[in-house]
Chain A
Amino acid sequence: MKRTIVPFGPQHPVLPEPIHLDLVLEDEKVVEAIPSFGFVHRGMEDLASKRDFNDYLYVVERICGICSYMHGMAYCEGAERIFGVEIPDRAKYLRTIWCELSRLHSHLLWLGLLADAFGFEALFMQSWRVREKILDMVEDSTGGRLISSVNRIGGVARDMDSAMLAGFVAQFDKMESELRALTKVFLTDSTVRARLFEVGVLTKQDALLYGAVGPMMRASGIELDTRKLGYAAYGKLDFDIITSNGCDALARCEVRIGEIFQSFRLIRQAVDKIPAGEIYIPVSGNPKGEATVRVEQPRGEALYYMKANGTRNLERFRVRTPTFSNVYSLLKILPGAQFADVPLLILTIDPCISCTER
């Protein structure tokens, strides 16, 4: 059959971010997807050698505006391991709470974008309406909506008092009931199911082989969550790893929805258990040594590698972001899909191109 090549992106109405794929089609069916990136590549890893390691924290936070908090936290965690300092317990709990707030806003953002991708505009608006409440909490506690800059090497820069924490938890009940109604539409509505069910199947073996991470991997039945490593205060909190055996787009949706409710549970526990005390211990001198940190971002496991040689600048900073790892799976689930499902499939990996290219 005659093959057609359709360029997809970089400017595309469905995705706010630029990604370019050359889709090789036979009629409406995708045969092959050839990626071409570089529209957001800035060269941030190289900047590590030009910036002071304390200042570089603010650059790391801007790898991605959505998981900004977790990038900053992982960088500080790595630097603390190099310095060999243990941060105060209260700071660990505060970090956990902020992490889960960013997971909540990221997953709600994704739900909205997914709804937009299959043309359910009301659902998009409703998801983002709930998301704004989370952003209000982030803003109340850090001062910024997306880029919060509250991490410091040695702790956190701001505290949350008990009235603020209680105020957050008090809002959760209403939000949870709103979200239950909302997520029911995602999981049971027949028009939504028609777009998601058995679309973009990635089997368990393939997920392992192609290096899928995060919800993408867990939706293929692999039970792994880097939070179980116990960084920040996760080691002292109780939570389940949400998995699904569906392996399709609906399963990925299901896993992320499960994680939303799990995040509420984690924040509630952290608020109950948070100890009083210091939030910061001063760290001085220049780092020397290397550290590898893994954290679970909303999109999956991210790996940070830092190498310091005793000067003000890091010798090497490397981050492997979850989307970079998931891109290969995306390229493998696209062949065989219908052309109309392509934007939807790209969205199911929860792409973050600025993370991927740095």
Chain B
Amino acid sequence: MPTISKSPWMMHYDGSSCNGCDIEVLACLTPLYDIERFGVINTGDPRQADILLITGGVNYHNESVVKQIYEQMPTPKVVVAVGICACSGGVFKDCYNIKGGVDTTIPVDIYVPGCAARPESIIDGVLQAVELLARKQTEAESATAAEGEAQ
């Protein structure tokens, strides 16, 4: 029985974004939007996070940071790309230092559109991530159970 969907922990990392989406992610935590009512808590520690929110594209300097954060997170994990820059590079796609969207570096599960992404759509993205997380956990659990039976 997946219990993680009642209290997933979310982590936010700012890639090379313009700040717009970051501020909207923060705005999700504040009284008007209050994402915490779904049990989601923002954490600064990748080792405790289930959902990774990345705003902004990936550039050649923060590539390794994004990879490292992703690897430090425990499985199952879900990556949400927030905003058009994180999805595809957006207006900065042609800049010399931009590698592209987040999916050029790590696997992305949910894409949230918008420039800047609105808090409503960020919340929608996070909730879809929570569902996916529960599904991933159930799959992982049944896989271990099947393995146990086989032995």
Contacts and interface: CB of A to CB of B under 8 A. Distances in A.
Interface string A7-19: 0001111101110
Contacts, number: 124
Contacts of B69: 11
Given A16-B26, A41-B97, A44-B95, A65 B44 contact: no
Given A66-B19, A129-B31, A18 B95 contact: no
A174 B46 CA distance: 41
Q: How large is the interface on B (under 10, 10 to 19, 20 to 34, 35 or more residues)?
A: 35 or more
Contacts of B61: 38-39, 41
A40 B12 contact: no
A42 B14 contact: no
A140 interface: no
- Output the residue of A12, A62, A144 with the most chain B CB within 10 A: A62
Given A146-B116, A147-B115, A40 B22 contact: no
A58 interface: yes
B59 interface: yes
Given A39-B61, A145-B116, A132 B27 contact: yes
B2 interface: no
Contacts of A40: 14-17, 56, 59, 62
Contacts of A118: none
28 contacts: A11-B69, A13-B43, A13-B44, A16-B19, A17-B14, A18-B14, A38-B59, A39-B62, A40-B56, A41-B61, A42-B59, A42-B95, A43-B96, A43-B97, A59-B92, A62-B90, A65-B19, A65-B21, A65-B22, A66-B20, A109-B23, A125-B30, A128-B31, A146-B20, A146-B116, A147-B20, A352-B19, A355-B19
Interface of A: 10-14, 16-18, 38-44, 46-47, 50, 58-59, 62-66, 68, 109, 112, 124-125, 128-129, 132, 144-147, 352-355
The 3 closest A-B pairs by CB, nearest first: A65-B20, A13-B44, A128-B30
